[in-house]
Amino acid sequence: MTSAALSLEQAPPLSVPLRFFLTAPLFGMAAAAMLLLAGPDVLLSRWSPATLALTHLFVLGVLTMVMCGALFQMLPVLVGAHVRRPRLWGGICHGLLAGGTAALAAAFLTTAPLAFRCALMLLGGGLALFVVVLGGGLLRAPRVHDSVRGMRWAAGGLAVTVGLGLALTLGHAWASLPILRVPLTDLHLSWGLLGWVALLITVVSWQVIPMFQMTPEYPRWLRRWMPAAIFALLAWFSLSAAVTWPGSSLPLAGLAAACAGYAVWTLVLLAQRRRTIGDVNLWFWRLGMAALIAAALFALAGRFGLPPAASRLALAPALLFLAGFALSVVNGMLYKIVPFLVWLHLQQRIGEHPAARGQVAPPNMRAVIREPRARAQWWLHAAGLTLLLAGLAAPVLLRPAAVVWFASFALLGYNLFTAARLYRSEAARIAACG
Amino acid sequence: MNAPPRETTLDVRGLEPCEPLDRILQALDRLGSAARLRALVSREPLPLYPLLRQRGFAWQVVRNEPGCCELLIWRAGDAVAAAADGT
């Protein structure tokens, strides 16, 4: 087989993913600042305005921001699927997502219908555009393998999440509209966390764990069936929300088992890695998988009323999933993806300037972001997570947690900024060679 | 009858990113005419292809199975290297 399908003209410039990556820590710092200002009052319940604002700053501004940016670049790198006009669509998606996230947070805090309408237009437009661009890229993938199939399921999960979120926002923007807020919110949350965040992370992990941690591959049956199984369980769970029947706990139990099983399998693979030297990416993955197992156990216990739904501890599964699992993994992946992209794009620059060959060598991935600073950020991340979870039982710890989270996101942003700065200086050296 | 192309084999399986691609590109900088590089990598190196095309190389994937992808790479337009049986 001779491959001629790929060309550099189709590959997005580094600025496309980087603008998403560099924006994410800013939203993380904004979420931490909100937690600091609101203090123990936040996280009183999932319905408090500050909790909703904080959650969406984090899920949209940090997690979805990074995941969108990564997909613009990683689709061609990992699955050979190209996104058309990445600079244009990437720029528009980024602007709408950032503006819409800020508008939605403001809307939750002020409850102003106008702010909800702004958020509806910006976020609805940005995320719908992203689903179309992502779906188009996946449909044009030169070969349909497990990762492409899995990403298609994740794109479907995102589409359902966005649809439910827009319906809920419509209810805020026009109060006269009859919206079944509680069941729709439960479905929006479930599809967002599992159908989008968890699905995409698992699909990407099939590629990046063996590639960057030198582990054996995930088994074929898991790669083939897990996305469809999660999607089917979510659909079953959605139907259970509408119709109560004796087996309505089964889909939740199935989803918890799938997540915990995936996490255990990942930990086993990481234990078999051929790299003898550990790195901060490994630490983030291990922490993330431990948190995912804990979140699954807490979610199952919650089904049986432990802890009671009115208790602040009822938020533990969501916090473990978002801050413990999703953020750990996304944060850890940034420390691999960004250095790899810097190296790759510098190689492309050298290809454009043949005189630079032999004169300038792109830095090794390990030299792009200094490991001690990345490890320092992991410690801040782990401390922030510990304080946040402890804050559910002792709310006085929530403000210290906010300070540590702020520092963690600030250091993450600085680490990513140093990678971007290194890229610019090396690219200038290459260009100077003629 | 033309002489067969000179062939160099480079096994970069087991190296962590971005070492495999780095070593392949370095080896290609030294590749002469009527010669080709047989590279063994752990997985199909999709990010390498645009770099090869940009540098004027052609390639063929002769084996792609779990744990081993085997590529033949030569200078585009090099009839001697391209004509030989890839396997």
pTM of the model: 0.90
**ipTM computed for the complex:** 0.88
Token couple for A363 = 């830095």
Does residue B85 fall inside a structural domain? no
> B21 and B47 in contact (C-beta within 8 Å)?
yes
Is the backbone peptide bond immediately before B68 cis, with ω within 30 degrees of 0?
Answer: no
Q: Using an 8 Å CB-CB cutoff, list chain A residues near B84.
A: none
Residue of B17, B51, B64 lying closest to A211 (CB–CB): B17
Q: What is the pLDDT of residues A58-105, one digit of tens each?
A: 999 999 999 999 988 877 776 667 777 888 999 999 999 999 999 999
Site of tokens 């790929």: A6
Q: How far apart are CA A236 and CA A189, in angstroms?
A: 15
B61 contacts A77? CB cut-off 8 A: no
**Domain count for chain B:** 1
Residue B42 lies inside a defined structural domain of this protein:
yes
Distance from CA of B62 to the nearest CA of A (A): 7
Interchain pair B17, A217: CB under 8 A: no
Domain limits at B66? 6-74
Q: Which residues of B touch A357 (CB under 8 A)?
A: 29
How far is residue A69 from each of residues A99, A194, B29, measured CA to CA in Å?
16, 19, 33
Residues in chain B closer than 8 A to A77 (CB atoms): 46-47
| B35: in domain | yes
CA distance B35 to B87: 15
**What pLDDT is stored for residue A7 in this prediction?**
46
Residue B81 inside a domain? The answer is no
Residue B54 located in a structural domain: yes
Assess if residue B14 is contained within a domain.
yes
pLDDT over 50 (residue A3): no
Q: At residue A385, does pLDDT exceed 50?
A: yes
Residue B80 has pLDDT above 90, yes or no: no
In total, the C-beta contacts within 8 angstroms joining chain A to chain B are 66
Q: Residue B37 is part of a domain; what is its CATH number?
A: 3.30.110.40
CB contact under 8 A, B16 and A364: no
B85 contacts chain A (CB < 8 A): no
A134-181 pLDDT tens trace? 888 888 877 777 888 899 899 999 999 999 998 888 888 787 777 677
The 3-state secondary structure of B22-78, one letter per residue: HHHHHHHHCCCCCEEEEEEECCCCCCHHHHHHHCCEEEEEEEEECCEEEEEEEECCC
Q: What integer pLDDT is reported at residue A5 of this predicted model?
A: 40
Residue B25: pLDDT over 50 = yes
pLDDT confidence band for A2 (50 / 70 / 90): very low
